[in-house]
Structure 1
């Protein structure tokens, strides 16, 4: 395992929630909750959870994890800058706050069965995936920010860890994105007949590379985990037959199952081999999503040459991630050994991307005691 996941003095650089903020206003709370350590990103709430967040009304898709719509309390909004943004928090800004560990009984039973199966079959990194709620929440935030970093999104796309110290809950707070539509509505042609093509960068193929290859996400096929909009403007307009087609933009959300799969590749894998595996669902997913629309159905709507071009674009973006960027991403993990392991996993994925692009030799596979083994 590498001993240097981040560079010396990382917090002296500008970052979204850095040491200066700890010194300015959160030092007591962060010290009391054990979040004032070196090279970690503390929770977005710099004071007790119930003093920072307030629940707001609104309709949401609950899924299997406890999920609330919340906003930062007015008395806090007037005194601090929003995480990841230079603008003061506005009253209408809404966050989705999820609490891993608060699942339905059916989901907990399913996960217990999965754990037993994976222990028997020797896949311990999957068997222990849900064991630590703190790691679950922080890993999801890391995955979302890694996706953002590679895809080049702006400050409005934010995932942050939030500690509920009283309940001992570890939460994921994600900023609500406006002007986007649920991924499955792409196929409701009566509603959105105009979205029939995508940009070269924010499309189903680039998202497939990011989620399945870089993040090892188990739920990369599920359309609930995507949002789309017109590439220009916030509103989707209906069009009549014969009207000019509009270009769409697709992004990923909900990264709770990231790093559940390794997406193993053969040594010296070619881009052609990589693309073939990427575009072919696993046997489990073929059964799980039989008869349903998935991300791969979206990819099928794209011209073949654009799919190839977009896969190349996504690999190039991953290959361009710097050590400093990977180190800053690893700061989401508070435990030193997990932070180091996460840094090593991200480095390995970047090295694979470079090798696929013929920029570097094929990297040595992550072995026992490294990377995934402690995640």
Structure 2
């Protein structure tokens, strides 16, 4: 069976770079330095490299299992391996993960908007604006989403130039001496870097929409390397600007760096940073929302638009119930655990299961040939 949908719905494999990288960068960039230092401290950049390297292995695993899927996605693979009913249940479990993923991203960004810009705006208004924007984009189809991913990677990248200002006050000697921590410290920091790379798992859904998808793996690895380099750069800048104790008590260190940027014609440059982050989280929300729509369309047999609106309404109801920083922290922790289990537990299990089935089919075919 074809592992690619009709050509008029697909995008060039080059755009896999922006699709995967766009879904791996999000709101976690604002506060990750304060989390990963718990263990390896300033040597936590090593943990970023370790986690980034492991993502390349996960990407290879995803391509491996999808290459043996009937229609090239996780939905058909579940049905092949576990039957229609159990397969659909597992796919709907992935749908639940998508709801958690989007809820965490949207609610965390709304909290940033509340604290930084719109102190008196109710969360439901900000949530509604974000979801309606995402619905409008997703309704345009996968090609429109791909275009949004491209521009939402390119435009915010211009903001990297502004890191020149905090780098003027950087204390690079604070990294010395290098690599002074035990292996257990790096192991403690590495799992805290996993949420930074969540998003690669959505390749399990949009793989059939990539042209020549079997040969597109190099772009996925380039995207993972791009993400790792970006986080490594941000971490190094933050580590040289803040001391360890400051980072432990700073909620959004990446965002605070923007407060030292001053122009004669633009006093509150940090506002631009906050609004720029909407472009950064938009690809994650759109890809995940599109994925949830695809799951409902192929499992529950809903049409695309009702599935899109149903998913969005569920998200809106869930998000407006989430109140307070402690709730957001628990939600973030739940997503971190769920994403780690999915990437480092479930996907490797699928690889093992697919490999066992392949070996069984080969031995069965060999026995049949010998009997003939």
TM over 0.5: no
TM-score by length of 1: 0.23
Q: Comparing both structures, which one devotes a greater share of its residues to strand?
A: 1
Q: Comparing both structures, which one devotes a greater share of its residues to helix?
A: 2
Greater radius of gyration (CA): 2
TM-score by length of 2: 0.23
- Which one scores higher on RCO, CA 8 angstroms, separation ≥ 6? 2
